[in-house]
Amino acid sequence: MAKRKTEEYIFADAYIGSFVKNLMNRQDMMRLASCKDLAAAEGILREFGYGEAKELYDNDIEWFIRREQNKLFNLIYDTLPERKELALCLFPYDYHNVKVCLKAEFLGITPDEDLLVSTGDMDWKRVVAMVRDRNYMFMPVYMKEAIIEATDLFGRGGDPQEIDIILDKACYRQMLAAAEETKEDFLIGIVKRQIDILNLKTFVRLRQIRKPWSFFQKVFLTGGNIGEQLFISCYEEPYEQMAEKLAPYGLQEPMADGGREIKETGDFSLLEKLCDDKMMEFNKQAKYYSFGIVPIAGYWYAKEVEIDNLRIILTGILIGSTPEQIGERLREPYV
């Protein structure tokens, strides 16, 4: 795919850029977190372009979140000059649907529509049909090869975990290949950092349950900035020592502070939050681009994080958390 000329994005950049002003900053989110109930929260959300949300009056947070995610995807893809340019952001949803289909097949049941998602690059009904019929004609080669390998391994070993491992690797290989095809450094950087952070989270979780480093080698995602050998060399080292080695990759703070929290309490939430904040730190570079695909991609990621923060806030309100408790879990906003 040839890199598009900057002027081809003028309309899309202007239109998507007009929505940036509606993004919530931390002060806005804390104001929302102070609402006494979801009905009051709905009133504030209208100020930021969310429109009427009747489902919140029924405490149906998940339906609200799904609707807003669909609205976001439709906004982006109805505006882009070509859908293919940011399709890589939807690949994880496609692979999720493939996992659901394969596991349902091996259990001898029909894929549960409640578990399938409609926000992938491929229509979920089409994915169901392709997996069921093993029709690979219109399937990405990464996905096809992963399905063949996963089916073979499961048939020999019966371990459903193999399905997740194989498909996750294929997903991120396809995402990185698609990013590299755009020849856009920002998109390549986003995918590489996602891979690094997923590897770091996996590494820490496996260490905590004392899995051997050979298992980490099996699940390690290739293509990131951090090589496999660095992780393996740190398998027996204290987290603070590993944090120093991650400094060149911008992940020293998540490993140092998150690792300390895990060591003291066994809680992974701080590590998860700090890693997400590092992703947003990189994404904020999109603010310095006026034209092209980058500001559109930057807004998309920013809005996804905002929607995730809304899930945290609205759930906190529903269960009676204090604003301070909710605030501790919020991810860094774009603005």
Q: Tens digit of pLDDT for each residue in 34-62?
A: 999 999 999 999 999 998 888 898 899 99
Q: How confident is the model at residue 263 (pLDDT cuts 50, 70, 90)?
A: very high
- Pick the closest to residue 192 from 278, 75, 72 (CA basis): 278
Supply the DSSP symbol for 159.
Answer: -
Q: How far apart are the first and last CA of the chain?
A: 32
Average pLDDT taken over every residue of the chain:
93
- The answer to whether residues 153 and 162 touch, using CB atoms and an 8 Å cutoff, is yes
For 1-5, 80-84, 152-156, which range has the lowest pLDDT when averaged over its residues? Answer: 1-5
What pLDDT digit, counting tens, does each position of 206-237 carry? 999 989 888 999 999 999 999 999 999 998 89
CA–CA distance, 44 with 33 (Å, rounded to integer): 10
pLDDT at 3 over 70: no
Structure tokens at 234: 């740190």
pLDDT at 269 over 90: yes
Give, in order, the Cα–Cα distances in Å from 43 to each of 14, 35, 52, 68, 308: 28, 10, 8, 16, 19
Domains, the chain, ranges and CATH? Answer: 1-59+289-335 (no CATH), 86-183 (1.20.1690), 193-287 (no CATH)
- Pick the closest to residue 250 from 272, 225, 232 (CA basis): 225
CA–CA distance, 221 with 227 (Å, rounded to integer): 10
Instruction: List CB contacts of 270: < 8 A, sequence separation 6 or more.
Output: 257, 258, 261, 262
pLDDT at 119 over 90: no
Q: What is the number of alpha carbons within 13 Å of residue 280 lying toward its C-beta?
A: 19
Q: What's the predicted TM-score (pTM) here?
A: 0.91
